[in-house]
Structure 1
Amino acid sequence: MVADMEKKNSFVLYTDYRRQFDLLTDAELGQLIRAVMDYVETGQPPDLPAGPQMAFAFISAQIDRDMKKYQEVVEKRRAAGSAGGKQKASNAKQEVASLANDSTCYQAVTNLPDNENDNDNVNDIKKKDTKVSKEKSFQPPSVENVREYCQEGGYKVDAECFVNFYESKGWMVGKNRMKDWKAAVRNWARNDQKPSPKTGNRAIDKYNQFMHSDYDYESLEKDLLANK
């Protein structure tokens, strides 16, 4: 994904990565950093051992998101510059036309109230349609959204793991499209089996097994509420 975007000679390493870094030896950490640099420059995923590869998956996903945001900013600025030039030329033409034809100006002023009413009606319809569309559509959260929600609720969930996991599944819960990501966070917190440096390889195996399982979190939450 990085290779398809406009070249950018920098990227961000977040302090949240420290937890994954602590699981690696110094040699593995060196392999990981080199692989991240190569990925930013070439866009090609590396061939790494299991430990560094798992950390690389989190980091590369965040790099892709950062690069996408950067590209969107570049495109918006480019479009704004182009639109600004066109608007100046359009304003100049309109000024010449208004000076050349007073009757046309008078007619435009006379019809202005009707046009304003029509525009108001069209704008009202667009606002209603947009509101309905937003209510029906699910908006995937960002890592920061999940992190803030976990901090507010006291949930011990790795926000980056959560977002990366569901992005890889297209934000599907079982066979259904996710409707409430906050409910999924709460269920993730209940079933979290995240490894730590003290638990060793067995905990990492359990973590990988959990990450690749396909739980229907909405159904689990309904069952829990029904049993209360």
Structure 2
Amino acid sequence: MAEKKNSFVMYTDYMEQISMLKREQRGDLFTAIMAYADNAELPDMDDVTRMAFCFIKSQMDRDKNKYLDTIEKRREAGKQGGRPKANGNDDKAKKANGFSENQTEAKKPDNDNVNDNDNVNDIKKKGTNVPKESARFEPPTVENVIGYCHEKGYKNVDADRFVDFYASKGWFVGKNKMKDWKAAVRNWERQESEGKTKPGPRTGEKPKNQFQQFPQREVDYDALVMQGLQDM
């Protein structure tokens, strides 16, 4: 069954044929046009009116066929989910989008992290040291110091004394902020160990150490050790 259309297009070009008709003929022509558009029975027309109608009818048929063709294309597109029909341009489109039939994994987009990693790899290949971001210093607890001394087998470090001493200094070593408390523990152990392994003084002699400028001068050894660690 033909698709019924409830409208049609009137062209100004029809005026050339209409102007040749009388008033009554024009009425018959208009009635015939309306009837034909509605698939109804045509009225009686004389030869002149019928000739004008045939000219207009041909244009109406072309318009109707074009309309039906458009409807059919939309119907087919709807069945395919709106996807256009496959044609020879699909291959060109796939190549333009970087698609390959052998491709099994979606291409990953480039990003700044990938570029940064490439730069780091290039630097390593050239033997250039990659700068490391300095870690933020966190003061150790007494438990941290005890654990580290146990790990290293240190016997001469008083963890409470170590933490109290540097905490009172704001965790500064001399004029510089401490960066590695474990290094400070190692230095502390070294100083304490050296102090305890030195030969003791002879009977009646006052103890001597490396910080004394004169043999007869008494010096607080522990205070000087702390000062030496602080100035490191």
* Structure number with higher helix proportion: 1
TM-score, scaled to structure 1 = 0.35
Task: Report the TM-score, using the length of structure 2 for normalisation.
Answer: 0.35
Bigger Rg, which one: 2
Structure of greater relative contact order (alpha carbons < 8 Å, 6+ residues apart): 1
